[in-house]
Amino acid sequence: MRNPLQEQLLKAGLVNKAKAAQVVREQAKKHKGKGPAAPSAEQLEAQRLQTEKAERDRAIAAERNAQARANETRAQVRQIVEAHKVKREGEIAYRFTDGDKIKDVLVNAPLRAQLAAGTLV
């Protein structure tokens, strides 16, 4: 698109269409400009340091998350064990196998009945 001055020069015959088109193309090139300037060494170094810091931060965060999940799992296991804990009191010895060994535990009569029936494991 030409400006009014270019139109007037073209009508007056001072400029031909080819010359006007060339001027328009040159102006478009100037407006478009060159691509972004190449980053300087300082900018590249700053970007590299920023990338390294981000990677370290991600690694540290992942490690913290893994540790938090492990702690949470341990707490859940402790809670389950405490909730289902059987008191170690009784006068009857109940014998059971643990791998290749035979072990015994002192239980009372109701616990022995549950263990024998298989309802308490």
Alpha helices in 1-121 (DSSP H): 4-12, 17-32, 41-83, 109-117
Over residues 23-41, the mean pLDDT reads 76
Domain spans in the chain, listed from the N-terminal domain onward: 37-85, 87-121
Q: How far apart are the first and last CA of the chain?
A: 89
pLDDT score at 27: 81
What does the pLDDT look like over 79-111, one tens digit per residue? 999 998 877 778 888 888 889 999 988 888 888
pLDDT score at 34: 66
Q: Virtual CA dihedral for 46, 51, 54, 55, nearest 10 degrees?
A: -140
Which residues, 6+ apart, have CB-to-CB distance to 109 below 8 Å? 90, 92
Structure-block tokens of residue 40: 């300087």
